[in-house]
Amino acid sequence: MGNRMMIGVIGGSGLYGMDGLRDAEWRSVDTPWGAPSDSILTGALDGTPVAFLPRHGRGHVHSPSSVPYRANIDALKRLGVTDVISVSACGSFREEMAPGDFVMVDQFIDRTRGRATSFFGAGCVAHVSVANPTCARLSAACAEAARATGTRMHDGGTYLAMEGPQFSTLAESRLYREVWGCDVIGMTAMPEAKLAREAELCYACVAMITDYDSWHPDHGEVDVTAIITTLTENAARGCKMIAGLPARLEPDRPPCPCGCDRALEHALLTAPGARDADLVARLDAVAGRVLDPPST
- Spatial distance between the Cα atoms of 53 and 55, rounded to a whole number of angstroms: 6
Q: First vs last Cα of the chain: how many Å apart? A: 15
55 annotated as a binding-site residue: yes
- Beta strand 102-105 pairing with 153-155: parallel
Task: Give, as one character, the DSSP assignment of residue 260.
Answer: G
Residue 38 interacting with ligand ADE (CB under 6 A)? no
Q: Which does 213 bind (CB under 5 to 8 A by kind): ligand ADE, ligand LNRAV4D5, none?
A: ligand ADE
Residue 86 interacting with ligand ADE (CB under 6 A)? no
56 annotated as a binding-site residue: yes
Q: Which does 156 bind (CB under 5 to 8 A by kind): ligand LNRAV4D5, ligand ADE, none?
A: none
Residue 186 interacting with ligand ADE (CB under 6 A)? yes
**Within its chain, how far is the Cα of 111 from the centroid?**
16
219 annotated as a binding-site residue: no
Q: How many helices (H) and strands (E) does the chain have?
A: 7, 13
Residue 128 interacting with ligand ADE (CB under 6 A)? no
Q: Which does 185 bind (CB under 5 to 8 A by kind): ligand ADE, ligand LNRAV4D5, none?
A: ligand ADE
Q: Tell me which stretch binds ligand ADE (CB under 6 A): 100-108, 146-154, 205-213, 253-261.
A: 205-213
The binding site for ligand LNRAV4D5 (CB under 6 A) comprises: 12-13, 55-56, 64, 88-89, 164, 186-188, 224, 227
62-to-32, 59, 118, 165, 188 alpha-carbon distances in Å: 19, 9, 20, 11, 11
Closest CA to 114 of 161, 171, 181: 161
13 annotated as a binding-site residue: yes
Q: How far is the CB of 47 from ligand ADE (least distance, A)?
A: 34
- The only residue of 6, 130, 187, 189 in contact with ligand ADE, by rule CB under 6 A: 187
Whether 211 is catalytic is yes
Whether 276 is catalytic is no
In the annotated binding site for phosphate, the residues are 13, 55-56, 88-89, 188
Could you give the residue numbers annotated as active site? 211, 213
